[in-house]
Amino acid sequence: MSSTIDLEDITENYNEDKHLIFGYTPMCGTCKVSERMLDIANDILQLPIKKVDLNFHPDFSKEKEIMSVPVLLVMNKDKEENRIYAFQSVPYLLENLK
């Protein structure tokens, strides 16, 4: 078992009608705050989520045209339905993820 994430992992929830992909980098302070807010919101929503260190996935970042971190992709199967860069608050996330 290697410590790096296989790229296939990002697509592991692509069979789900609604799932989240959270893109971050370890050195990003805003990412840590956003991840905490997301974890609280998702405790309520219980959506499948994939957390991805984008340092290891430049192709994914390029393909999805991700401009900054943190980023939350709200997905329906393999299609992006919404993208959130500014997480703002837990109620904001809940409202946008319903």
12-45: pLDDT as tens digits: 999 999 999 999 999 999 999 999 999 999 999 9
Rounded to whole angstroms, the Cα distance separating 91 from 68 reads: 22
The domain ranges of the chain are 17-95
CA angle 17, 59, 20 (to 5 degrees): 25
Q: Can you give the pTM of this predicted structure? A: 0.90
Q: pLDDT tens-digit profile of 35-92? A: 999 999 999 999 999 999 999 999 999 999 999 999 999 999 999 999 999 999 999 9
User: Helices 29-45 and 90-97, interaxial angle, to 10°?
Assistant: 60
CATH class of the domain defined by 17-95: alpha beta
Rounded to whole angstroms, the Cα distance separating 54 from 7 reads: 11
Tell me 28's DSSP state. Answer: -
Is residue 31 within 8 Å of residue 24, measured between CB atoms?
yes
